[in-house]
Amino acid sequence: MTEPTQLFDQQRTYQPTDPEIIALLGSREKQAQMRHYGRGPAFFRLGRKIIYHGKDLCEWANASRIDPNAT
């Protein structure tokens, strides 16, 4: 078993408009759909603002990882 990959800074917070988030999750509209259907990473809703924590993004990405060499 390999170590989990740290794609994001665990101490940083990210917004839906950050380039790293758009590259991984897609447009703001796509992110809204993922949140609505419970398919995206954990997030904070502060009023109308959405915040992703780096640790939550790493956990979500690692949980979505597929290892083609797994037995």
The tokens describing 57, both together, are 């993004």
Q: Residue 6: is its pLDDT beyond 90?
A: no
The pTM of the whole model exceeds 0.85: no
Q: Residue 28: is its pLDDT beyond 70?
A: yes
Q: For the chain, what is the mean pLDDT?
A: 91
Question: Where are the chain's structural domains?
Answer: 13-63
Q: What is the pLDDT of residue 5?
A: 73
Q: What is the pLDDT of residue 64?
A: 86
Q: Residue 68: is its pLDDT beyond 70?
A: yes
What confidence category does residue 59 fall into, taking pLDDT thresholds of 50, 70 and 90?
A: very high
DSSP string, 34-61: HHHTT-S---EEETTEEEEEHHHHHHHH
Cα–Cα distances in angstroms (integers) from residue 21 to residues 15, 17, 32, in the given order:
7, 7, 12
The number of residues in the chain equals 71
